[in-house]
Amino acid sequence: MAKTGKIVSLLIILALVLVALPFPQANVAKANSCPSHVWVAPPPVGNDTTGDGTQAKPFATIQKGINTVCWNGTVHVAAGTYQQSLHIDESQNLLGAGAPMTIIEGDGGTVVTITSTPSSTNTISGFTITNGHLVYCMWHPAEEQVLHAGIKLPSLERLTQLFGIGYLYGGGIEIGDTHIVTINDCVIKDNEASYGGGIYNEGQLYMNRCTVSNNQARYDGGGIHNYYAGIYADSGRMWLTNCTISNN
C-alpha cells in the first residue's frame, strides 16, 4: 500500500508540473489578435522581419500573409513576381493586382496547395500561377537524355508507382477533398505533374474568366484533372465560366 501511495503522489506531482508548464500560444494568439486584411509586396518594400502586414509595412512573402491573416481574411498581394510555393490550410482569400502583373512562380513542387478543412471556402483572384513542377525524373524520356552516368533509369516517379508509394498531383494548384475554391481572372500556365499539370481538383472548383494553358501531365489531365475521390459526395465537382483551356 505504501508503494502504491508513493506512485499516486508522484503522478499528482507530475500532473501539477505539466499544468504549470508554458505551452505555445500561437493558435490562441492568432485567434484573438489576427487581422482580417494583410498586405504583401516584393522587397525592398515588403519585409517579413520588419513588416507587420499593414499597407504601410507589408510582408515580403505571400505565405507570411497566409500564416498571419484571420480565418476568412484576405491577403492583398501587390504587383510583382513571387518565387515561392504556398500552402493554404484555412478559409482565406488571396487577391492579386491582376494576372499580368502578379506572378507566383513555384520554387519546387505544387505552386498552391489548398488543404483547409472540408467545406471551407477559398478565393484566389488576379494571379498568374506558373512553373510548378511535380514530376521528379532521373531520365527525361521526352528528350531521350540520360542524366546519370550513361545508364537509363526509370523516373523516381515511376518507382513510386512500382512500390505503391503514391503519385504527384497538381503542378499549378492542388485542391483537396471537398474544399470549395473559387478562382477568378487567373492564368495557370507552364506547370507539370503526374496528374493535373495545371490543376488537380478533388474539391468543388469554380473558375471564372481564367486561362489554363501550356501545362503538362505525365498521365492524365494536362490542364485540369477533376477527380471524384468517392469518400465525400461533393468531391471532384467543377464549374467553368468564360474560361479558356488550351494547348495542354
Looking at the predicted structure, is the pLDDT value of residue 7 above 50? no
User: In whole angstroms, what is the distance from residue 236 CA to residue 248 CA?
Assistant: 20
Looking at the predicted structure, is the pLDDT value of residue 10 above 50? no
Give the containing element (helix H, strand E) for 157: helix 156-162
Q: Report the predicted TM-score, pTM, of the whole model to 2 decimal places.
A: 0.76
Burial (0-12, 13-18, 19+ Cβ within 10 Å), 191: buried
101-129 per-position pLDDT tens digit: 999 998 777 888 887 666 788 999 999 99
Average predicted confidence (pLDDT) for the chain: 78
225-242 per-position pLDDT tens digit: 988 766 666 778 899 999
User: In whole angstroms, what is the distance from residue 60 CA to residue 21 CA?
Assistant: 35
